[in-house]
């Protein structure tokens, strides 16, 4: 009889340990997902900040559009000369957090 109770207690302890481990793994998975979501939100916030800084630096060039995705900046629109386009690319490249600048700028014909 003592052996049966001991076996029953061991089985319950094993079941509880397995349940706790499963719960811990589930919680860890949820935490990882939350961290990934936070990182993605942080990237979006950083992209918005990069875009804002570049637009502020190019305030006199309203015709230049600026978008940022994962630190990659895309400049678009029409500029008066290649010098203006080159300057815009240099300004964008100098902003912290910018990984790459893609130019879709065109030079306006006179």
**Residues 71-79, mean pLDDT to the nearest whole number:** 95
Say which range, 5-9, 65-69, 76-80, has the weakest mean pLDDT: 5-9
Report residue 59's pLDDT band, with 50, 70 and 90 as the boundaries.
very high
CA dihedral of residues 97, 103, 105, 106 (deg, nearest 10):
160
Q: Which residues neighbour 32 within 8 Å (Cβ) at sequence distance 6 or greater?
A: none
Nearest to 91 by CA among 51, 54, 46, 49: 54
Query: How many helices and strands, by DSSP H and E, does the chain display?
Result: 2, 3
- Tens digit of each residue's pLDDT (9 = 90 or more) over 39-55: 555 666 799 999 999 99
Q: Which of left, alpha, beta for 77 (phi over 0: left; psi -120 to 50: alpha)?
A: left
């Amino acid at each position: 009889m003592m052996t049966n109770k001991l076996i029953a207690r061991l089985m319950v302890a094993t079941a509880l340990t397995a349940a706790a481990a499963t719960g811990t793994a589930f919680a860890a998975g949820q935490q990882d997902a939350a961290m990934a979501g936070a990182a993605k939100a942080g990237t979006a916030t950083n992209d918005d900040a990069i875009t804002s800084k570049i637009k502020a630096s190019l305030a006199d060039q309203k015709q230049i559009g600026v978008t940022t995705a994962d630190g990659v900046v895309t400049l678009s629109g029409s500029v008066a000369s290649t010098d203006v386009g080159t300057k815009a690319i240099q300004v964008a490249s100098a902003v912290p957090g910018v990984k790459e600048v893609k130019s879709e700028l065109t030079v306006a014909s006179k």
